């Protein structure tokens, strides 16, 4: 009933083929059902899949509990289970049921039914057991692979987010990281792989174990940045980590915490219109101001003569104010306090205290730390234009260290024209508080070339309003400029390519037209030559017939050359379409165009053999084009072979492959190593001085046409050759092409004389 011979190997190969074609267990079961129907010879094959939410009957439970094949070779009304009686009522006489499972995972039942009694026994049972065991294991592998694919999709989606993320192993080494993680340490993603997570974040091995268990850690690295790291274990070897940079948030938290604990200072946050949004809780103890009573009020309404304060703030270029104010307290009394009001982004901060400058310094420190991790180059200068501080991005872009540049005039790193513009822009910033979108060039260390920047200049001052400083924030433009240049170059090349393509198309069309037009007069010349040869216009001498025979042979060769040129023109213009049909390769090799080579080889004293392996299936291809390819390859083999012979061998690429491999092997002169890469190029010909070749034979187009035809079928062509030891040209064709292009409804193609 099943396959003979080395059946276990054959059965296993069948299952492996199904496994490679299936994407999930359900698809595997369907393919297995179809395959069992074809190889078992039974009347019906049923795969009853088992799902987690389906009810399990007594019969199914019995089969899975016994874990053995159940065989009933004589079904009747008295069979042991209702399911078997139902099969009997449908006309079946024999039944074999096997559980499909692997490592306690149950996938379903295989049910084989026959209308013959005593249908199952001996090798049929053992063969079925082998296949079911193999399918169970294959289904388990597919199930696990599906889980792995889903897990990989999850991580790919997660890693595309804007948060720094990585996969680390139990030793604390980075296995996978996204771009945001690499940017934390100025690595590329490739450089981040294999780095020590422990070393980067200054944590210990115990912390790594904690991450595997889901315990988050908080760590501050030497440059002052603070991170909260959370882990989510993938398996016992890997954990996925998510990193949050808490530096700016924690710095602000520290400042607020100080304000909340202070006994003499109050911290107030307002919007740009002085509407109070938040008040530190110590306001009630210090001034009797209950936060909930003043939140939402306008600060100008709380301050004595608030209108004057509002006017003063409005006249200030940067909404800053330092001085004494009188505040209406919650107990109906007024209090004179020191106040510093300072704008940060769209918010206004107010510190009320005799020691408010201490908090301003805290704010300034937090601000400096935020600037320190900015991707833009930031330079801090005093009112005299001397550099007092730069950030890491400045050091990275312009190659200066903090120590090398601090204390130097800002004009020393700008070229002449930019330096003059900068001085005027600083004057404007001093008056108006800010200047944006100016362009200037900075000079990198030990580099005469200038780096272009787009700059903004902001005036800042200390808490007293006396010492004025400026922040110059620069966005480096060299990369963008170069990217724009490359884009322009790409567009230029594309325009040139379009131009060359148009010219090439015109040349191809010209060649096609002129070659096509040449066929008509050549056909007429050949027709009249044949009439002359047959004596239609008078009897010819043998010498005259000899000359006419030469003329007709040369006309045939000329038609062949024109045909090749037309084929090249069609292939180049994309006009060639395939007339796909089911092709039996045994029959194809018996085509007269190919069989004719037997006589040619006999004439040269060569052997000519063809062989098609037993397991080669029919393929879907254009038979005329395949014959053209084979004629080209066999013709070349005969041309370059003086002794020995030619073998044409057709096989499957491998047992599990979806391709047929067709090889033409000769014992000829072979091809030199340096010529192998050229043989498939148009017009290239292999020449040997010692070869007996027809003068002027060939155009060097045959192999290039061969390659294009094989490519159209979705296959590939190549060769193996050693000089003096022969050559093997081979090509592959898939059983079913990737793209089916039928031409039966189109006008018939011109046939090219082979």
Cβ count within 10 A of residue 567 = 23
DSSP string, 93-136: -EEEEEEEEETTEEEEEEEEEESSTT---THHHHHHHHHHHHHH
pLDDT digits (tens, 9 = 90+) for 181-215: 888 888 888 888 888 888 888 888 888 888 888 88
Question: How far is the C-alpha of 108 from the C-alpha of 376, rounded, in Å?
Answer: 62
Q: What is the pLDDT of residue 701?
A: 75
Bridge partner list, 381: 387, 470
pLDDT for the residue numbered 508 = 59
Share of the chain above pLDDT 70, in %: 74
Cβ contact 707:682 at 8 Å? no
- The span from the CA of 113 to the CA of 402, in Å, is 85
CATH topology of domain 375-476: Beta-Lactamase (3.30.450)
Q: Which of 24-28, 109-113, 361-365 has the lowest mean pLDDT?
A: 361-365
Average of per-residue pLDDT across 469-497:
75
* pLDDT tens-digit map of 649-687: 999 877 677 899 999 999 999 888 878 777 887 666 665
The three-state secondary structure class of 360 is helix
CATH, range 7-151: 3.30.450.40
**Identical topology for domains 7-151 and 161-245:** yes
Asked if the model's pLDDT at residue 35 lies above 60, the reply is yes
3-state secondary structure of 621: strand
**Average pLDDT across the chain, whole number:** 77
CB atoms within 10 A of CB 581: 14
In this prediction the pTM is 0.34
pLDDT surpassing 60 at residue 465: no
pLDDT higher than threshold 70 for residue 745: no
Q: Which two tokens stand for residue 395?
A: 């050091």
3-state SS, residue 240: strand
Choose which CATH entry (3.40.50.10240, 3.30.70.1150, 3.40.50.300, 3.30.450.20) describes domain 161-245.
Answer: 3.30.450.20
* Alpha-carbon torsion, ordered 334, 339, 341, 342, to 10 deg: -160
Residue 390's DSSP bridge partners are 379
Q: What CATH class is the domain 576-734?
A: alpha beta
Q: Give me 234's structure tokens.
A: 């993938």
Q: How far apart, in whole angstroms, are the C-alpha atoms of residue 216 and residue 194?
A: 22
The fourth-level CATH superfamily of domain 249-364 is PAS domain (3.30.450.20)
Q: Is 666 helix (H, G, I), strand (E, B) or coil?
A: strand
153-166 pLDDT tens trace: 555 655 666 678 88
Separation between Cα atoms, residue 24 and residue 59, nearest integer Å: 26
User: pLDDT tens-digit profile of 246-284?
Assistant: 665 555 555 555 556 666 677 888 887 888 888 887 777
User: Domain spans of the chain?
Assistant: 7-151, 161-245, 249-364, 375-476, 482-572, 576-734
Are the beta carbons of 413 and 398 closer than 8 angstroms? yes
């Amino acid at each position: 009933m099943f396959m003979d011979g080395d059946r276990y190997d054959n059965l296993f190969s069948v299952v492996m083929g199904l496994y490679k074609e299936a994407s999930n267990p359900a698809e595997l079961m369907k393919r297995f059902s179809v395959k069992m129907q074809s190889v078992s010879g039974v009347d019906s094959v049923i795969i009853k899949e088992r799902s987690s939410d389906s009810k399990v009957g007594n019969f199914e439970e019995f089969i899975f509990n016994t874990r053995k094949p159940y065989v009933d070779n004589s079904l009747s009304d008295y069979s042991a289970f209702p399911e078997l009686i139902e099969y009997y009522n449908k006309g079946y006489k024999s039944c074999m049921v096997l559980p499909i499972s692997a490592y306690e995972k149950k996938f379903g039942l295989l049910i084989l039914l026959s209308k013959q009694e005593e249908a199952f026994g001996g090798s049929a049972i053992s063969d079925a057991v082998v296949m079911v065991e193999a399918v169970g294991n294959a289904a388990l592998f597919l199930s696990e692979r599906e889980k792995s694919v889903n897990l990989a999709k999850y991580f790919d989606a997660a890693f595309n987010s804007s948060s720094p993320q990585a996969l680390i192993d139990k030793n604390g080494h980075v296995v996978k990281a996204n771009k945001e993680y690499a940017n934390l340490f100025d690595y590329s993603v490739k450089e981040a792989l294999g780095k020590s997570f422990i070393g980067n974040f200054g944590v210990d091995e115990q912390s790594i174990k904690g991450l595997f268990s889901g315990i988050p850690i908080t760590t501050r690295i030497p440059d002052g940045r603070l991170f909260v790291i959370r882990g989510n274990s993938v398996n016992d070897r890997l954990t996925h980590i998510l990193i949050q940079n808490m530096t700016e948030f924690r710095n602000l938290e520290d400042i607020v915490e100080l304000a909340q604990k202070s006994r003499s200072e109050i911290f107030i946050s307002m919007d740009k219109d002085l509407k109070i949004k938040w008040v530190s809780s110590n306001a009630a103890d210090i001034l009797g101001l209950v936060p909930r009573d003043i939140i939402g009020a306008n600060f100008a309404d709380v301050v004595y003569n608030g209108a004057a304060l509002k006017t003063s703030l409005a006249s200030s270029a940067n909404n800053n104010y330092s001085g004494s104010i009188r505040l209406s307290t919650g107990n109906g009394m007024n209090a004179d306090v020191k106040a510093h009001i300072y704008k940060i982004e769209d918010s206004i901060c107010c510190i009320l205290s005799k020691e408010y400058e201490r908090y301003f310094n805290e704010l300034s420190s937090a601000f400096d730390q935020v600037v320190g991790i900015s991707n833009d180059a930031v330079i801090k200068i005093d009112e005299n234009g001397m550099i007092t501080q730069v950030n890491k991005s400045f050091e990275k872009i312009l190659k200066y260290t903090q120590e090398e540049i601090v204390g130097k005039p800002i004009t020393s790193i700008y070229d002449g024209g930019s330096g003059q513009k900068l001085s005027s822009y600083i004057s404007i910033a001093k008056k108006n508080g800010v200047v944006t979108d100016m362009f200037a060039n900075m000079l990198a260390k030990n580099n005469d070339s200038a780096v272009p920047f787009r700059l903004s200049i902001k005036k800042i001052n200390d808490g007293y309003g006396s010492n004025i400083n400026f922040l110059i924030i620069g966005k480096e433009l060299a990369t963008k400029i170069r990217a724009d240049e490359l884009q322009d170059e790409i567009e230029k090349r594309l325009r040139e390519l379009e131009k060359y393509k148009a010219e090439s198309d015109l040349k191809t069309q010209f060649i096609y037209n002129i070659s096509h037009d040449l066929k008509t007069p050549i056909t007429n010349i050949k027709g009249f030559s044949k009439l002359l040869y047959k004596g239609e216009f008078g009897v010819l001498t043998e010498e005259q017939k000899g000359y006419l025979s030469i003329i007709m042979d040369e006309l045939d060769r000329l038609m062949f050359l024109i045909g090749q040129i037309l084929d090249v023109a069609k292939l180049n213009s994309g006009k060639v379409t395939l007339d796909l049909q089911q092709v039996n390769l045994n029959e194809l090799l018996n085509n007269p165009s190919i069989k004719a080579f037997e006589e040619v080889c006999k004439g040269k004293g060569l052997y000519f053999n063809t062989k098609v392996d037993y397991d080669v299936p029919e393929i879907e291809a254009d038979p005329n084009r395949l014959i053209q390819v084979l004629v080209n390859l066999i013709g070349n083999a005969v041309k370059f072979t003086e002794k020995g012979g030619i073998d044409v061998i057709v096989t499957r690429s491998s047992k599990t492959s979806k391709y047929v491999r067709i090889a033409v092997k000769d014992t000829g002169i072979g091809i030199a190593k340096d010529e192998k890469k050229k043989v498939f190029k148009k017009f290239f010909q292999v020449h040997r001085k010692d070869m007996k070749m027809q003068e002027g034979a060939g155009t060097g187009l045959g192999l290039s046409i061969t390659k294009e035809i094989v490519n159209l079928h979705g296959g590939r062509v190549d060769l193996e050759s050693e000089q003096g030891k022969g050559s093997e040209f081979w090509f592959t064709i898939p059983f079913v092409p990737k793209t089916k292009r039928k031409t039966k409804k189109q006008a018939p193609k011109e046939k090219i004389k082979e």
